[in-house]
Amino acid sequence: MKKINVGLLGLGTVGSGVVKIIKDHQDKLMHLIGCPVEVTKILVKDIEKARQVVVDKNYLTKDVYEVIRDPEVDVVIEVMGGIEETKDFLLEALQNKKHVVTANKDLMAVYGSELLSVATENGCDLFYEASVAGGIPILRGLVDGLASDRINKLMGIVNGTTNFILTKMSKYGSPYDEVLKEAQDLGYAEADPTADVEGLDAARKMAILSRLGFSMNVDLEDVSVKGISSVTAEDINYSKRLGYTMKLIGVAQRQGEKVEVSVQPTLLPDYHPLASVNDEYNAVYVYGEAVGETMFYGPGAGSLPTATAVVSDLVGVMKNMRLGVNGNSAVAPQFDKNLKLPEEIYSQRFLRIHVADQVGAFSKITSLFSERGVSFEKILQLPLKKDDLAEIVIVTHQASQKDFEEILQLLNDLAVVDNVKSTYRVEGNSWT
């Protein structure tokens, strides 16, 4: 085979890692694919900008069409970010018969199905391993490693920035804003970190994971999302006191033909393997009917970890090129989309309430739960040093989302309730 030429869109955190890995691991790549591979064109915004890697400036261009229309470019690697215009660039690259590798979960969450079908129409590969959980080969794990199994549930820590923040807040009591800035300085956070802390980045990844895990076209808008910006030190401390660890968890659960996908701050029992996934690390805990419980763990962000997944996808494209079998990236969904209703979504719940410290207050509260058949796993009541109030912390057993939302509404209407301070989903005690 002749030398394979790569056009790189972006030379930032991930793009720099891609250049470094292709250069440093050239011998292994040659052994795997039987020919050299070279990055011959690189799109950037600023030609003069200082770079994390040494590149020949003649390879740099500000004109994307010099990359996606170059007849010598065989594979386009997109690590520039963005959604709308980047989608158009990749569509043109595919229509120009260029294979595509991308790390862009924002793009794949919204336009993945369309891009995959255009790739197939043009006999091109479109691989996106790096778009979910950075360097962890979770997409190949689901599609190849667990191909024979029926996935019942996925639970993921798939955003490194928020995991880094919650780890520091839990372990050291670090202030939220200070740790967010640290995560940004370390290159973990998106250009606009709102996508990280409000859960949208994790939701995009859970949509991608659910599509592959459940073989169903789950869309981003099907994922209910709550971020970590409202998580308080009190909630973290109560979680720890009750034997739980607070994490931003993506949950994708299938029962029969119906699925539910959500992202929210979640309490995990300290003994759950996901509870020990800390800092910028990611992990995806997979429940399969045959395999049982497996966990994929590793760095979810960072230059070289993410670039490892990108270059591994490139190897997959090049192997297919050598065998002449490109153009089969898209796997048609086996099931029509079928989402659970609120009354079908069950989980344990944590809630913290401020109530009047008076006779009968507690029984008025517990009756709202018992009337709906919701029982308690743990209860704490402590006096507050103000306004004759007490603080009640409850961990329920399984309750439907519908029942729990009704209870919350009724609690807010109760005279003895001063304020429902916080509520969280609790996972990991059982996977039903």
Ligand X SMILES: NC(=O)C1=CN([C@@H]2O[C@H](COP(=O)(O)OP(=O)(O)OC[C@H]3O[C@@H](n4cnc5c(N)ncnc54)[C@H](OP(=O)(O)O)[C@@H]3O)[C@@H](O)[C@H]2O)C=CC1
Ligand Y SMILES: N[C@@H](CC=O)C(=O)O
Member of 120, 159, 347, 401 binding ligand Y (CB under 6 A): 159
Q: What share of the chain is helix, strand, coil (3-state, %, to 5)?
A: 40, 25, 35
Member of 10, 134, 316, 428 binding ligand Y (CB under 6 A): 134
Asked whether 320 and 387 are in contact (CB, 8 A), the reply is no
Size of the site for ligand X (CB under 6 A): 25
Q: Which stretch binds ligand Y (CB under 6 A): 63-71, 139-147, 159-167, 270-278?
A: 159-167
Closer of 41 and 105 to ligand Y (Cβ): 105
Q: Which residues pair with 216 in a beta bridge?
A: 335
| 293 annotated ligand binder | no
Asked whether 402 and 342 are in contact (CB, 8 A), the reply is yes
Member of 16, 40, 104, 161 binding ligand Y (CB under 6 A): 161
386 is catalytic: no
Q: Give the x/- contact pattern for ligand X in 280-299, rule: CB under 6 A.
A: --------------------
- Classified as helix, coil or strand, 328 is coil
Instruction: Compute the distance between CA of residue 231 and CA of residue 244 in angstroms, rounded to an integer.
Output: 14
The residue number whose beta carbon is nearest to ligand Y equals 161
List the interface residues with ligand Y, window 232-251 (CB under 6 A).
Answer: none
The answer for residues whose C-beta is within 8 angstroms of residue 145's C-beta and 6 or more apart is none
Asked whether 277 and 106 are in contact (CB, 8 A), the reply is no
Q: How would DSSP label each residue in 94-132?
A: HHTT-EEEE--HHHHHHHHHHHHHHHHHTT--EE-GGGT
| 9 annotated ligand binder | yes
| 324 annotated ligand binder | no
Query: Phi/psi of residue 121, each to 5°?
Result: -60, -30
Shortest distance (Å) from residue 306 CB to ligand Y? 7
> Active-site residue among 87, 98, 168, 205?
205
Closer of 63 and 234 to ligand X (Cβ): 63
Residue 316: count of CB within 10 angstroms of its CB: 19
Shortest distance (Å) from residue 80 CB to ligand Y? 14
Q: Which stretch binds ligand Y (CB under 6 A): 52-60, 93-101, 157-165, 345-353?
A: 157-165
Residue keyed to tokens 């910028």: 280
Asked whether 244 and 350 are in contact (CB, 8 A), the reply is yes
Instruction: Compute the distance between CA of residue 78 and CA of residue 9 in angstroms, rounded to an integer.
Output: 5
Partner from ligand X, ligand Y, Na ion, none binding residue 161, C-beta < 5-8 Å depending on class: ligand Y
Examine residue 17 and tell whether it contacts ligand Y (CB under 6 A): no
Q: Which stretch binds ligand X (CB under 6 A): 80-88, 178-186, 233-241, 381-389?
A: 80-88
Examine residue 21 and tell whether it contacts ligand Y (CB under 6 A): no
Eight-class DSSP state of 276: G
The answer for residues whose C-beta is within 8 angstroms of residue 293's C-beta and 6 or more apart is 285, 286, 287, 431
Examine residue 49 and tell whether it contacts ligand X (CB under 6 A): yes
- Please list the active-site residues: 205
Which residue ranges make up the site for ligand Y (CB under 6 A)?
A: 134, 159-161, 188-190, 196, 201, 300-301
Which residue ranges make up the site for ligand X (CB under 6 A)?
A: 10-15, 43-46, 49, 79-82, 103-105, 130, 134, 187, 191, 301-302, 306
